[in-house]
Amino acid sequence: MTDANAQIQETVDNNDVVLFMKGTASMPQCGFSSRVAGVLNYMGVNFADVNVLADDAIRQGIKDYSDWPTIPQLYVKGEFVGGCDIITEMTLSGELDTLFDENGVTYDKDAAAKIREANG
């Protein structure tokens, strides 16, 4: 196991929700990362953000780890959920709420409903 792979595994194992993204939750560096971080922040989800731009080994390593070619990547309770398009679809369909409920992740249900109302 490479150092990057071990670091990724440790991060995913030790945090209920992790977003591997370009930039940080408070300062996203790409539109797709900004969208997913924005949804999580608006819904009040406590999540770890990993800035892949800060470490090339992590940037490539997360793609290899998930066998998914793009960033951002969201993990919930150790499971890869998806990237921006998948998270957007899950948010609008209510699937993300269900995933959080099933995994005991705290979030603002009213905020989630407001996102759907605004995009319905």
Binding-site entries = 30
Q: Whole-angstrom Cα distance, residue 56 to residue 113?
A: 37
Whether 63 contacts 2, CB under 8 Å:
no
Q: Whole-angstrom Cα distance, residue 46 to residue 111?
A: 14
Which residues contribute to the annotated binding site for [2Fe-2S] cluster?
30
CA separation (Å) from 19 to 12, 47, 63, 114?
Answer: 9, 7, 13, 22
Whether 16 contacts 66, CB under 8 Å:
no
